[in-house]
Amino acid sequence: MELAGTIPGATEHPRLRTPMFWLLLLSLLLLLLPGPAASQLRYSVPEEQTPGALVGNVARALGLELRRLGPGCLRINHLGAPSPRYLELDLTSGALFVNERIDREALCEQRPRCLLSLEVLAHSPVAVSAVEVEVLDINDNSPRFPRPDYQLQVSESVAPGARFHIESAQDPDVGTNSVQTYELSPSEHFELDLKPLQENSKVLELVLRKGLDREQAVLHHLVLTAVDGGSPARSGTAQISVLVLDTNDNSPAFDQSTYRVQLREDAPPGTLVVKLNASDPDEGSNGELTYSLSSYTSDRERQLFSIDASTGEVRVSGELDYEEASSYQIYVQATDRGPVPMVGHCKVLVDIVDVNDNAPEVVLTDLYSPVPEDAAPNTVVALLSVNDQDSGPNRKVSLGLEATLPFRLNGFGNSYTLVVSGPLDREQVAAYNITVTATDGGVPQLTSQRTLQVEISDINDNPPSFLKDSYSIYIEENNLPGVLLCTVQATDPDEKENSEVTYSLMEREIQGLPVTSYVSINSASGSLYAVNSFDYEKFREFFPRQPNPDWRYSASLRAGMHSSVHLEEAGILRAGPGGPDQQWPTVSSATPEPEAGEVSPPVGAGVNSNSWTFKYGPGNPKQSGPGELPDKFIIPGSPAIISIRQEPTNSQIDKSDFITFGKKEETKKKKKKKKGNKTQEKKEKGNSTTDNSDQ
């Protein structure tokens, strides 16, 4: 190999001949490639290398420092899944080496180039690089003729210049290592025409340069030698026996020496390829011709094509596949029926036209699932590649997915990455079935789909929330310590440990004491318990919630839940002898209205309750008249006023008080007068009246 720019005759430094020099030079050139070309690595390796032979250092070519990336950060995929795996990657050094002995002829037959396509995957950061390794041919095969000896029958009447076809030798090697020339043993009557060899034909022609005389020699022995261009050269021989006969002296001839046709790969069996025509100037049976496929036609071509012996029609007899072979050479011979049969030859070149008969394939290389719901845009979810066995526009494949999904595809060549493109929320969508559609460029287009299931993992992005914004609890005074007040419940839409709720009370004080001196809460169940016995005369209600100027006593529970605890006391109003006795629980401070009392819903009633029950007290003395009872009550925080009227004792109406709702009176009296009235009332009624003073 001579580098461009080398001065002829210049002395080459001995180190320039070493393989290591060329390997280093190739790696340097690959590293200097700019932009996208730098991700396409190309190497070459001769066939039949021993396992372990170095091909190149991929990590160095990609500029990766494996010591910093750590183990398992680099690996390769064999595209097309060759078996066995001829190449492997040393994950510690990044070196690409031969894993199995490569026989180029077995792998690629006689294709001009033999390529192994690989993908190199780097995981941190994620990167994909294509690697192309060309397997170079070495001269490890000798030329061989289809048969070791050939029998020719030649009439003595044949004039000099007649040509006789001999099968060419086959050499599995390619390029200069294939057959380059032929040699014929010295002969007075025959010589070899090498012109067809220069035209890349499989047919050799033995030329009669001097007439034959059967009386002088009935049989001529020749040795034909095929020589390849390897160094050192290899050769193969065949014996040719020429039997001289005196009969039919004209060979059949085709109207063309070479026929060329195009045929679609989806042509069904029975399709006419070409109709051949040969003629023979002889008369009678010497001019009657029979068509057949000659021995130069391979077994595979015989499976795909057939010829009618009488008409010369060549037809399809098997299933064609452009991806298997894009062209075929069919060798046909026409043989007359003379006593000494004469044969004419022609070649049919069949070019197969590709049709879009292969759907694209989506290959999932890696799937990184689950994906956290707080994943940033462009987070890699999956690595994919596409492949189509067709050619030309039929091979061009595009990959897409639904536009409504929070994901998108980034493509480079036939490799794609699926990345996050929008916000993820596990509480709304816990998993995605992502259908990726591959579409080729053929007419009509062919598509294939692959569905990826991507799970979304939870993060703690939701606070717990209570089922109710507030809880009202009613409890009688003098309760036992540890009594259950109520159970609160909160939920969290997250999952696992992120959804586990713990209950606690905010640190607040009520009348100078921490809220935990009054109530406690079970951190696991949310059950609220009374710590001590409550005294109605000390305070009638308190609110465990966040401090707020609208409330005198407050504490807080997490997630904004507020609860209030109301204490109950039985109040008795006497109306004189035969009058009604009334009991009800009071829950709030005294009203500023001087002439009105207060009344609250019964135990268990809600804040918005609008019903009260009045009952006679069976053990209380009757008072003289309704004047002894307050005739007005208000509802704290409401503009309503309650008026009470009573029926006489002997009335037939149900013995219940009647309540009328109206507006509050606008008149207000001084607080001093109000307290005086209450003091007088207490003296008259003793300890039987309910105390409504502030606590």
Averaged over 470-489, what is the pLDDT?
Answer: 89
Residue 626 covered by a domain: no
pLDDT of 606 above 50: no
Tell me: the pLDDT tens digits for 480-532? 999 999 999 999 998 888 888 999 988 888 888 898 888 999 999 999 999 98
Q: What is the arithmetic mean of pLDDT over 127-153?
A: 87
Domain check: are 174 and 110 in the same one?
A: no
Question: What is the average pLDDT across 115-121?
Answer: 82
pLDDT at 629 over 80: no
CATH code at 318? Answer: 2.60.40.60
Check whether residue 349 and residue 401 sit in a common domain: no
CB 263 within 8 A of CB 352: yes
pLDDT value of residue 529: 94
What is the arithmetic mean of pLDDT over 581-608? 37
Task: Report percent pLDDT > 70 for the chain.
Answer: 69
Residue 320 is assigned to a structural domain of this protein: yes
d(CA 256, CA 274): 12
Residue 634 resides in a domain = no
Residue 640 is assigned to a structural domain of this protein: no
Average pLDDT over residues 556-577: 41
What would the mean pLDDT of 454-482 be, rounded to a whole number?
Answer: 89
Mean pLDDT of 94-108: 85
Within 140-234, strands assigned E span: 149-155, 163-167, 179-184, 190-193, 203-208, 219-228
Q: Identify whether residues 128 and 160 lie together within a single domain.
A: no
Q: Are strands 490-491 and 465-466 parallel, antiparallel or unpaired?
A: antiparallel
User: Lowest-pLDDT range, 91-105, 385-399, 532-546?
Assistant: 532-546
Mean pLDDT of 18-33: 43
The arithmetic mean of pLDDT across residues 453-457, rounded, is 93
Considering only residues 219 and 91, tell me which one the structure prediction assigns the higher pLDDT.
219
Share the mean pLDDT of the chain: 74
What pLDDT score does 201 carry?
66
Q: Are 540 and 521 in contact (CB under 8 A)?
A: no
Residue 421's domain comprises 361-457
Token representation of residue 575: 């109306």
Residue ending a domain, choose from 353, 387, 403? 353
* Residue 505 forms part of a structural domain: yes
The answer on pLDDT for 673 being more than 60 is: no
Examine the pLDDT at 16 and tell me if it is beyond 50. no
pTM: 0.42
Please, is 397 exposed, middle or buried when counting C-beta atoms within 10 Å of its C-beta (0-12, 13-18, 19+)? buried
pLDDT (0 to 100) of residue 115: 86
Last residue of a domain, one of 457, 492, 517: 457
> Would you state the pLDDT for residue 22?
40
Task: Note whether 496 and 519 are same-domain residues.
Answer: yes
Element (H, E) at 529: strand 527-530
| pLDDT computed for residue 273 by the predictor | 95
Cα atoms found within 13 Å of the Cα of residue 327, Cβ hemisphere only: 11
For residue 545, give both structure tokens: 């919630």
62: pLDDT strictly greater than 90: no
Torsion of the alpha carbons at 309, 312, 313 and 317, rounded to the nearest 10: 40
307 inside domain = yes
Are 101 and 49 contacting, i.e. CB atoms less than 8 angstroms apart? yes
In this prediction, residue 94 carries a pLDDT of 81
pLDDT (0 to 100) of residue 566: 57
Which of residues 457, 482, 511 is at a domain's end? 457
Beta-bridged to residue 412, according to DSSP, are 415
Mean pLDDT of 614-643: 43
- Region 200-219: mean pLDDT is 84
236, pLDDT greater than 90 = yes
- Residue 72 inside a domain? The answer is yes
Q: What percent of the chain has pLDDT over 90?
A: 30
Total domains, the chain: 5
pLDDT of residue 200: 63
User: For 27-41, 226-240, 409-423, 676-690, which range has the lowest pLDDT when averaged over its residues?
Assistant: 676-690
Task: Characterize 47-57 residue by residue with b for buried, 16 or more Cβ atoms within 10 angstroms of its Cβ, and e for exposed.
Answer: bebeeeebbbb
- Is 83 inside any structural domain? yes
How far is it, in rounded angstroms, from Cα 334 to Cα 400? 56
Q: Is the dihedral of CA 240, 242, 243, 247 positive or negative?
A: positive
Do residues 223 and 304 share a domain?
no
Q: What is the pLDDT of residue 195?
A: 75
How would residue 166 be classed by pLDDT, with cut points 50, 70 and 90? confident
Residues 181 and 157 in one domain: yes
* Per-residue confidence (pLDDT) for residue 626, from 0 to 100: 43
DSSP line for 109-142: TT-S--EEEEEEEEETTEEEEEEEEEEE--S---
Q: What pLDDT does 425 receive?
A: 92
